[in-house]
């Protein structure tokens, strides 16, 4: 069974500092994808970054990077130079194939990040 674990319920970080949000996963499938979503207080889910299990390089999207360590089954999100607008709930998710052959996502419980001015 697929499982995502986020062990940090909440984090407080000073503005402009870098922050790492932890995510570990468990799967026996050789092919999978790892995602990070941001959920601000307004409630919508915003896609941030994606890493495929066969990708050789860590994914980067602007200030977001995914520190993918396959042997350790971890997919930590790194936000560089944090901003007040980064305050939100962050979810790590993993895709896997359903019986129909389509991708489904399983989510972690989330980390609430608060940026302090």
Residue of 30, 72, 98, 117 interacting with another protein (CB under 8 A): 98
Does residue 17 belong to the site contacting another protein (CB under 8 A)?
no
Shortest spacing between CB 81 and another protein, in angstroms: 25
* Site residues (CB under 8 A) for another protein, limited to 48-67: 50, 52
- Asked if 91 is part of the footprint of another protein (rule: CB under 8 A), the reply reads yes
Residue of 53, 3, 29, 26 lying closest to 101 (CA atoms):
29
DSSP-H helix ranges across 1-117: none
Strand intervals (E) in the chain: 3-5, 10-14, 19-21, 24-26, 33-39, 46-52, 60-61, 64-69, 74-79, 88-97, 103-107, 111-116
Which of 24, 106 has the CB closer to another protein?
A: 106
- Is residue 37 within 8 Å of 23, Cβ to Cβ? no
Number of residues that bind another protein (CB under 8 A): 26
Identify which of residues 10 and 81 has a Cβ nearer to another protein in the complex.
Answer: 10
Does residue number 45 form part of the binding site for another protein (CB under 8 A)?
yes
Residue (of 79, 81, 83, 90) closest to 112 by Cα position: 90
Q: Which residues bind to another protein, rule: CB under 8 A? A: 4, 9, 33, 35, 43-45, 47, 50, 52, 91, 93, 95, 98-110
């Amino acid at each position: 069974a697929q499982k995502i674990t986020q062990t940090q319920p909440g984090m407080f970080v000073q503005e402009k500092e870098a922050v790492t949000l932890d995510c570990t996963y468990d799967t026996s499938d050789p092919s999978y994808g790892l995602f990070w979503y941001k959920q601000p207080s307004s409630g919508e889910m915003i896609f941030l970054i994606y890493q495929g299990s066969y990708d050789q390089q860590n994914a980067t999207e602007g200030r977001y990077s995914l520190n993918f360590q396959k042997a350790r089954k971890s997919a930590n999100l790194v936000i560089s130079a944090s901003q007040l607008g980064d305050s939100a709930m962050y979810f790590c998710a993993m895709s896997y194939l359903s019986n129909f052959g389509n991708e489904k996502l399983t989510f972690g419980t989330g980390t609430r990040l608060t940026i302090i001015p």
